[in-house]
């Protein structure tokens, strides 16, 4: 090892003496040192990848792999002229690396510092750079044993198997945040387009044109990064079920064939020549999932006391750690299982009592839609309730045929965000498999990636590989405009400042449409509010959409949990009158929980919300029996 290090210092000195050395001039010498150390210590063949940086951010300079293609760690290098690594430790850039990657070396090629989970655990200086710089001589070799110990610790690292959902969510969240901020955002801003860059720009252009017209590059980076992580998570669950190894290259095989947009994305992620910066962080996320005991994690929340749906809990935990503002902006909150079951059970019984359908949700006459599907909590519970009804009455003999001809034909859902869309498809697949039905290659649950509150005509895209996105939007539009719906259920987002402002939603709210009175009128006169901004809340628009769909069908049921402000706020008097004119029966269960009102429960105890939010909520069930 002594000779290897002496030769390394000699090479550094020669590079410096040439007079034109930059930081990158020393990279190959450090890469060779790491490889020679591994060979000297009989460590399995390793690969040291030097990563290009387009900005001062980006990935660390080196990624080190072991012989099994698993990530050992990262190295961030500064020029030998940078003598104050104490200062570098405090920079935002290095703090991002240390908070994202658990095994990192910081070096100026002479001094080495090893960090494990953000804490420095080893340090060694093998030479003094000022000797090479001032005296133009090779510095004496020192601290050989300390350096060997540091690398031994570095190479001994392996990711521990993540045993609980919270830890996994945290690990995935910080890497996804890094993917968003340091990789995708940088790649799509690049003017010099490689094939990899063109593919990302192509996805961005298609999402903006066919899904979210106001989508910014920053928002796309967020959407796309979450999609990659949750797509990998979904694929990992299936791979583990088959007891298979896992990597980003394997992930494509476990994305259902019928979910075209996800397969388009993972065809690029798994098979294309990715920009190195993108490949590195995606591989790191896949590595975390490879070591995760996903099967065990999926069952942990069962005993949590908040319900038995692990996917919903996991998604919320992920968002809390990834970016709480994303959840706030889109109004994404876990719906307690008791609330979901109450609404689904109520709808099921009303179908029997009010509509003469003795099988309730299990009846072939029921067409159901969740317009804000999320992770499909409501449709999943509706499927379970309907299956329970069917099995109790007719046994399991024809259950598969019933699932094929009813659930897969008559149940629909919409979602705008790619991450819950990906995980929702996974959830329904798992539920159907629990019922003994495994979807074939040409089957899918009718869960469409679309903006429920957008009705603009959608054409076919010419962007290669993304025809699936326009097809998805087209199928959703058919349901919005033409498919009669009997049941609409869900938990629409609450967002006082709506991101959904377009010509169609303005028409929907402000005009009489298909027999539904405008929310901006009372007794056919203008509402007269100076600032009716609360009528622009997303939940109001989703309730209006549901009202409009049931009106077009001629009869049906709406069951939702929403912000409860519309119950007594004067701004909503036109909305209240409109709903009362459309529906024959309206049932409201005010769950209170508004922290601003400082109410108390009937027994004097604290008025707590069923969500972790300050705004109170209410369940509304509305029944329209006929035209």
Domain co-membership, 143 together with 202? no
Domain membership flag for residue 451:
no
What domain count does the chain have?
3
- 180/151 same-domain check: no
193 shares its domain with 221: yes
Residue after which a domain boundary falls, among 285, 312, 328: 328
| pLDDT value of residue 135 | 60
Taking alpha carbons only, the member of 508, 373, 540 closest to residue 450 is 373
Ranges 72-76, 227-231, 333-337, 363-367: which has the least confidence: 333-337
Asked if the structure places residue 470 within a domain, the reply is no
Give Cβ neighbours of residue 3 (< 8 Å, ≥ 6 apart): none
Residue 488 lies in a domain: no
Q: Is 600 helix (H, G, I), strand (E, B) or coil?
A: strand
Mean local confidence (pLDDT), 370-380: 92
Is-contact 237 251, C-beta < 8 A?
no
**Per-residue model confidence (pLDDT) at position 496:** 58
Asked if the structure places residue 340 within a domain, the reply is no
pTM: predicted TM-score of the whole model, two decimal places: 0.78
Average pLDDT of every residue of the chain? 84
For residue 195, pLDDT over 60 is answered with: no
Residue 425 lies in a domain: no
Give the model's pLDDT for residue 302: 46
Q: Is residue 353 very low, low, confident or very high in pLDDT (cuts 50, 70, 90)?
A: very high
pLDDT at 595: 61
574 dihedral zone (left: phi>0; alpha: psi -120 to 50; beta):
alpha
Residues 187 and 68 both lie in one domain: no
Local confidence band at 303 (pLDDT 50, 70, 90 cut-offs): very low
Are 528 and 612 found together in one domain? yes
Q: Mark which of 155, 186, 201 sits at the end of a domain.
A: 155
3-state secondary structure of 52: coil
- The torsion angles phi and psi of 592, rounded to 5 degrees, stand at 55, -140
461 has pLDDT over 60: no
**Same-domain check for residues 197 and 321:** yes
| pLDDT over threshold 70, residue 497 | no
392 occurs within a structural domain: no
Predicted local distance difference test score (pLDDT) of residue 67 = 55
What are 239-268's pLDDT values in tens digits? 876 777 888 888 888 887 777 788 888 888
Say if residue 121 is in the same domain as residue 191.
Answer: no
DSSP state letter for 516: B
- Please identify, among 290, 313, 328, the residue that sits at the C-terminal boundary of a domain: 328
pLDDT digits (tens, 9 = 90+) for 79-108: 888 888 999 999 988 998 998 899 999 999
Asked if pLDDT for residue 150 goes beyond 80, the answer is yes
**DSSP symbol at 555:** S
C-alpha 378/C-alpha 598 separation (Å) is: 30
Q: Please, are residues 211 and 416 in contact by the beta-carbon 8 Å criterion?
A: yes
Q: Do 44 and 125 have their domain in common?
A: yes
Mean pLDDT value of segment 431-458: 85
Domain that holds residue 169: 165-328
Strands 62-65 and 47-50, sheet pairing: antiparallel
% pLDDT > 70, the chain: 85
Q: Are both 135 and 55 inside the same structural domain?
A: yes
Q: Are residues 150 and 194 in the same domain?
A: no
In this predicted structure, what is the pLDDT of residue 478? 92
Residue 306 burial by CB count (10 A; 0-12/13-18/19+): exposed, middle or buried?
middle
Coil, strand or helix at 577? helix
Tokens at residue 458, please?
């959608």
- Evaluate whether residue 562 is within a structural domain: yes
pLDDT of residue 306: 41
Is residue 269 one of the residues assigned to a domain? yes
* φ, ψ of residue 219 in degrees (nearest 5): -65, -35
Report the CATH number at residue 40: 3.90.1570
Are residues 64 and 209 both part of a single domain? no
pLDDT at 44: 74
Is there a contact between 551 and 516 (Cβ–Cβ < 8 Å)? yes
Residues 171, 318: one domain? yes
> Cα separation of 517 and 524, whole Å?
8
The Cα–Cα gap between 370 and 487 comes to 9
Chain center to CA of 439: 24
């Amino acid at each position: 090892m002594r000779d290897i290090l002496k030769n390394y210092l000699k090479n550094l000195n020669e590079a410096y003496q040439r007079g034109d050395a930059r930081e990158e001039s020393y990279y190959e010498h450090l890469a060779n040192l790491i490889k020679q150390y591994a060979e000297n210590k009989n460590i399995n063949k390793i690969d040291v990848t030097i990563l290009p940086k387009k900005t001062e951010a980006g990935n660390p300079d080196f990624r080190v792999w072991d012989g099994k293609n698993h990530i050992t760690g990262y190295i961030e290098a500064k020029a030998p002229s940078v003598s104050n690594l104490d200062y570098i430790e405090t920079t935002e850039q290095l703090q991002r690396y240390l908070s994202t990657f658990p095994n990192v070396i910081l070096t100026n090629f002479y001094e080495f510092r090893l960090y494990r989970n953000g804490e420095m655990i080893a340090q060694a200086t093998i030479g003094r750079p000022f000797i090479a710089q001032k005296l133009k001589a090779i510095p004496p070799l020192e601290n050989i044993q300390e350096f060997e110990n540091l690398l031994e610790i570095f190479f001994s690292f392996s990711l521990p198997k993540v045993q609980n959902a919270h830890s996994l969510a945290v690990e995935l969240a910080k890497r996804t945040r890094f993917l968003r901020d340091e990789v995708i955002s940088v790649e799509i801003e690049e003017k010099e387009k490689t094939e990899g860059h063109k593919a990302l720009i192509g996805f961005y252009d298609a999402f903006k044109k066919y899904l979210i017209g106001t989508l910014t590059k920053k928002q796309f980076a967020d959407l796309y990064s979450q999609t990659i992580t949750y797509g990998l998570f979904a694929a990992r669950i299936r791979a583990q079920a088959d007891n298979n190894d896992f990597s980003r290259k394997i992930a494509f095989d476990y994305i259902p064939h019928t979910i075209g947009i996800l397969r388009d994305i993972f065809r690029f992620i798994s098979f294309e020549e990715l920009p190195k910066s993108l490949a590195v962080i995606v591989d790191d996320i896949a590595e975390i999932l490879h070591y995760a005991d996903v099967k065990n994690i999926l069952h942990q929340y069962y005993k949590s006391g908040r319900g038995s749906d692990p996917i919903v809990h996991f998604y919320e935990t992920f968002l809390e750690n990834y970016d709480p503002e994303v959840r706030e902006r889109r109004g994404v909150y876990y719906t307690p299982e008791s609330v979901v079951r109450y609404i689904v059970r109520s709808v099921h019984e009303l179908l029997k009592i009010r509509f003469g359908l003795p099988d309730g949700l299990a009846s072939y006459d029921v067409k159901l839609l969740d317009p804000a599907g999320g992770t499909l909590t409501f449709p999943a519970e509706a499927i379970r309730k309907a299956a329970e009804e069917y099995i109790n009455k007719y046994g399991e003999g024809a259950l598969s045929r019933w699932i094929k001809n009813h659930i897969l034909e008559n149940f629909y859902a919409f979602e705008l965000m790619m991450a819950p869309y990906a995980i929702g498809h996974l959830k329904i697949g798992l539920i159907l498999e629990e019922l003994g039905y495994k979807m074939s290659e040409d089957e899918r649950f009718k869960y469409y990636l679309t903006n429920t509150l957008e009705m603009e005509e959608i054409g076919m895209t010419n962007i290669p590989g993304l025809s699936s996105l326009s097809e998805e939007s087209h199928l959703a539009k058919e349901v919005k405009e033409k498919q009669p719906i009997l049941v609409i259920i869900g938990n629409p987002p609450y967002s006082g400042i709506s991101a959904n402002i377009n010509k169609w939603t303005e028409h929907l709210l402000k005009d009489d449409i298909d027999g539904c009175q405008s929310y901006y009128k009372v007794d056919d006169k203008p509402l007269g509010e100076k600032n009716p901004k609360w009528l622009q809340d997303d939940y109001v628009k989703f309730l209006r959409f549901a009202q409009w769909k049931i009106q077009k069908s001629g009869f049906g049921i709406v069951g939702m949990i929403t912000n409860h402000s519309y119950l007594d706020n004067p701004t909503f008097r036109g909305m209240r009158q409109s709903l009362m004119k459309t529906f024959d029966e309206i049932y409201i269960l005010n769950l209170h929980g508004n922290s601003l009102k400082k109410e108390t429960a009937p027994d004097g105890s604290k008025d707590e919300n069923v969500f972790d939010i300050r705004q109170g909520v209410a369940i509304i069930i509305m029944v329209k029996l006929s035209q």
